[in-house]
Amino acid sequence: MVKFLVQRIIGMAVTMFFVSIMVFIIMELPPGDYAERWAFRKFSGTGAQITEADLDNIRANFGLDRPAPERYFKWISGIVLHGDFGEAFAFQTSVNNVIGQKIWLTLAILFSTLIVTYLVAIPVGIYAAIRRGSAEDYALTVFSYLGFALPNFLLALVLLYISITVFDSSVGGLFSPEYADAPWSTAKALDLLSHLIIPSIILAWSATAFQLQTVRATMLDELNNLSVTAARARGVPEWKLLLKYPARLAINPVVSTMSFDANRIFSELPIVALVLGLPELGELLLKSYLDLDMFVAGAILLILTFMIVFMNFLSDIFLAILDPRVKLIEG
Amino acid sequence: MTTTDLSTQEVQAPITQMESEEAQRYYSASQFQLIWWRFRKHRLARTGALILLTMALVGLFAEFVGPYSGITRVSEAVLVAPQAPQFCNDDGCSLRPFLPGITSERNTETLRMETKIDPSVRRDIYFFVEGEEYKLLGMFKMNTHLFGVEEGSIHLLGTDSLGRDIFSRTLLATRTSLSIGIIGVIIAFVLALVIGGVAGYFGGGLDYAIQRLTEIVRVIPVIPLYMGLAAAFPKEWSSTQVYFAMTLVLALVGWPTLARRIRGKLLSLRGEDYVIAASLAGAGPSRIIGRHLLPAFMSYIIVDLVISFPFMLLSETALSFVGLGLRPPTVSWGVLLQDAQTVRAIEQAPWLFIPALFVIVAVLSFTVLGDGLRDAADPYQVSG
């Protein structure tokens, strides 16, 4: 088990190293350079005359005159050694300050979405497989198709529209106004939970459609297994036998694709967050892309990807615990 | 694995005198004939294909089908609700469809322009009317439109806040969005074929390196990655440049999934008996790839291509929706939906949301078409 863990952690580090290079390339992509944008932000409208020499000064200040590999090294070592993500010029403060507690809100959204997804997809998928070919199964297939076809942000808009016209209340935001700036308390946490429900349902929408079909397909494969027939022949009650053999195995592909779900959720998060006005990393990522505030964007992209890689690590461990066959192969 | 009646019956049933002719036909049919026969049985997939074909045609001839160009502003018809052609009014019925007249006036309280329907006025709809000049397919100068009215204006899906006809704009957007998907898929496909093909056929260290690279690209959340690439487009780029850059971005992020599938398929086929037999018989790599491997996996690749379409469409829509993709004056589904970004806008004019229906229908059609093709792709498959 220790060897297994060490292997996975090394793999994770290698992946993150390559991801960080890719993120750095994306940060470098926008035309014009950081110094010009920074100067524009800082001095536009102040009447100050910026000369080429000033720009060179700024460049030297930020180390922009150094070659790219050196800048990459400085950036990544700042993150790894000091947890320092650099400076967010649009906000005139450090990236860490800007991102701060949004990481926790983002994690809260991720986990509540995953919980909603699995709470719906696993039992419903098993049910659909058992009742294969029934009207319910057919309806669920249609639902899955819609889950693929209806973009989450449209769903968000529709729900927002309904909530405002029918219920006369907004589903947007993560906190009620009275808690937005209040210090953390039980009441504030409960308020956050109640606001998490709608975004979670919206974000879980397509992941659920996808996992539901996975569970159903695996379940169908397993239902034909000899172990099921043998158990049935032994007279094991039907519900017990279903839970003991096929249902247990049907969960495996779901567990092993947890990181894909996280990827899907983060992929959709920025746009849904924009529509619903959620103050978390996805929305900030979108804003910083639009402002070309690439240090913030790069940091968020790196953090989101790290969460996904970490989820992958977790799902490997869960899988090894759930399915003894995996452990045997990995040693 | 599903099996249609056709295959079980024709493969497993003994060939009796009655069936022999049909069985003969089955055994002597080419692979693509078999695929076609199987596909024909899939009603849902056929419907999907039909819808997509219609969309493509309508998009191709958008200027002809739509009564206005995408940028024409009708100032007396701002935020007009969708108008349904009628055949009857208080004065009686006619075979020629017509629209009631509309008048717009400023509300004295809200100071908003408001349009009112005036049922006493009747505006006949004529077909093949002359209207604004345009270039069909970018080549032929024409001014005939499929339909139109002689007085006033016609807006089947309403107008936006600038008085532009949403029907015409949606048709143009259909062309943009579908074509961007098609070009994106083709570029991704070529990349995937070359890279995945090399990795799958030769294996070894190169294969390993390419595998790791695709894995890393796949770890980063897709839309944020797209956004990062799209954010790098210079602001001064023309809409054509942005358009082609978008297809490139879609392709660059889309190829790893395709390459992975091609590689996997090639790897599994490489060890098949008939491939080994061919190489033992002295066939060179080019003959093995061209004559034995390509036909075996081409159908799967087509399926993969069709399945990756919805993803391209949704990505383009999402990117343009948030302002990181195509920009006005280019119209795509995502650009049109930008107008429906806030609840206020939807509340005021729900019909701004209509382009979303096109997105959903197109994605659904591609999905069912992909499903049907997947079932048909392997006509020799008889597993239960």
Domain match, B229 and B93 both: no
B343 interface with A at CB cutoff 8 Å: yes
If chain A, 331 residues long, is cut into consecutive pieces of 10 residues, what is the mean pLDDT of each piece? 83 88 85 70 68 76 74 81 75 77 86 91 86 82 80 81 70 66 73 80 86 85 81 82 80 85 87 83 84 83 90 86 64 41
Nearest chain B residue to A218 by CA distance is: B1
Cβ atoms < 10 Å from Cβ of B282: 7
Rounded CA separation A163/B57 (Å):
38
Nearest chain B residue to A265 by CA distance is: B221
Q: How far is A266 from chain B (nearest CA, A)?
A: 6
Contacts of A270 in chain B (CB under 8 A): 223-224, 227, 322
Residue B288 lies in a domain: yes
CA count, 13 A, side-chain hemisphere, B183: 13
Q: What is the pTM of this model?
A: 0.79
Q: What is the dihedral of CA B14, B15, B19, B21, to 10 degrees?
A: 160
Contacts of B3 in chain A (CB under 8 A): none
Domain match, B99 and B176 both: no
Domain match, B138 and B242 both: no
Place of tokens 């297939």: A141
Residue B284 lies in a domain: yes
Q: What secondary structure, in 3-state letters, does B92-114 show?
A: EEEEEEEEEEEEEEECCCCCCEE
Nearest chain A residue to B325 by CA distance is: A290
Nearest chain A residue to B342 by CA distance is: A275
Nearest chain A residue to B223 by CA distance is: A267
Give the ipTM of the model, two decimals please. 0.80
Domain match, B341 and B205 both: yes
Domain match, B134 and B282 both: no
Could you tell me the two tokens for B256?
Answer: 């790893």
Question: Is 70 exceeded by the pLDDT of residue B208?
Answer: yes
Residue B214 lies in a domain: yes
pLDDT given for residue B383 in this prediction: 38
Based on its alpha-carbon atoms, the radius of gyration of chain B, rounded to whole angstroms, reads 26
Taking CB atoms and an 8 Å limit, are B220 and A145 in contact across chains? no
> Do A113 and A203 touch, CB atoms closer than 8 A?
yes
The alpha helices in chain B, defined as continuous H runs, are 5-12, 20-28, 31-40, 43-60, 62-65, 166-202, 204-219, 222-231, 239-270, 273-280, 285-287, 294-321, 333-337, 343-348, 354-377
Taking CB atoms and an 8 Å limit, are A285 and B224 in contact across chains? yes
pLDDT given for residue B18 in this prediction: 55
Contacts of A164 in chain B (CB under 8 A): 343, 347
pLDDT given for residue B3 in this prediction: 45
Query: Which of residues B97 and A300 earns the better pLDDT score?
Result: A300
Q: Structural domain of residue B322, as residue ranges? A: 169-377
pLDDT given for residue A167 in this prediction: 67
Residue B65 lies in a domain: no
Domain match, B195 and B280 both: yes
For chain B, how many structural domains are there in total?
Answer: 2
Taking CB atoms and an 8 Å limit, are A161 and B346 in contact across chains? yes
Domain match, B155 and B237 both: no
Going from the N-terminus, what domains does chain A have, and what CATH number goes with each?
A: 2-95 (no CATH), 105-291+315-330 (1.10.3720)
A160 interface with B at CB cutoff 8 Å: yes
Nearest chain B residue to A141 by CA distance is: B368
Could you tell me the two tokens for B177?
Answer: 């969005």
CA count, 13 A, side-chain hemisphere, A229: 4
What tens digit of pLDDT does each residue of B154-199 get?
777 777 777 788 888 888 888 888 888 888 888 888 888 888 777 7
Domain match, B216 and B101 both: no
Q: Which residues of A297-321 are buried (b: 16+ CB within 10 A; e: fewer)?
A: bbbbbbbbbbbbbebbbebbebbbe
Residue B222 lies in a domain: yes
Taking CB atoms and an 8 Å limit, are B224 and A29 in contact across chains? no
Rounded CA separation A28/A31 (Å):
8
Residue B297 lies in a domain: yes
CA count, 13 A, side-chain hemisphere, A228: 17
pLDDT given for residue A173 in this prediction: 66
> Which residues does B56 contact at the CB level (< 8 Å), separation at least 6?
B178
pLDDT given for residue A180 in this prediction: 67
Averaged over B312-329, what is the pLDDT?
Answer: 83
Residue B24 lies in a domain: no
Angle at A29 between CA A90 and CA B315, to 5 degrees: 90
Query: Which of residues B383 and A164 earns the better pLDDT score?
Result: A164
Query: Which of residues B145 and A112 earns the better pLDDT score?
Result: A112
A280 interface with B at CB cutoff 8 Å: no
CA count, 13 A, side-chain hemisphere, A202: 30
Domain match, B115 and B195 both: no
What tens digit of pLDDT does each residue of B15-67 get?
455 567 767 777 777 767 777 777 777 788 888 889 889 888 888 887 888 77
What tens digit of pLDDT does each residue of B239-294 get?
788 888 888 888 887 787 778 777 777 777 777 888 888 888 888 777 877 777 77
Q: Where among B94, B129, B161 does a domain terminate? A: B161
Q: Where among B101, B131, B161 does a domain terminate? A: B161
Contacts of A301 in chain B (CB under 8 A): 220-221, 224-225, 228
> Which residues does B155 contact at the CB level (< 8 Å), separation at least 6?
B74, B77, B80, B82, B83, B165, B166, B167
Task: Give residue A80's identity as a one-letter amino acid code.
Answer: V
CATH number of the CATH domain containing B183: 1.10.3720.10
Domain match, B234 and B299 both: yes
pLDDT given for residue B380 in this prediction: 57
Question: Is 60 exceeded by the pLDDT of residue B73?
Answer: yes
Domain match, B209 and B157 both: no
Residue B176 lies in a domain: yes
User: CB-CB: which of B216, B221, B347 is closest to A15?
Assistant: B216
The pair phi, psi for residue B13, each rounded to 5°, is -70, 145
User: CB-CB: which of B220, B343, B367 is closest to A19?
Assistant: B220
Taking CB atoms and an 8 Å limit, are A157 and B340 in contact across chains? yes
Cα-to-chain-centroid distance, residue A128: 27
Place of tokens 């519900």: A239
Residue B1 pLDDT class (50, 70, 90 cuts): very low
For an interface test with A, the pick among B214, B314, B371 (most A C-beta atoms closer than 10 Å) comes out as: B314
Q: Where among B141, B161, B181 does a domain terminate? A: B161
Domain match, B234 and B346 both: yes
DSSP annotation string for A241-305: HHHHTHHHHHHHHHHHTHHHHHHHHHHHHHHHHHHHT--SHHHHHHHHHHHT-HHHHHHHHHHHH
Angle at A34 between CA A32 and CA A38, to 5 degrees: 115
Taking CB atoms and an 8 Å limit, are B318 and A157 in contact across chains? no
Taking CB atoms and an 8 Å limit, are A289 and B310 in contact across chains? no
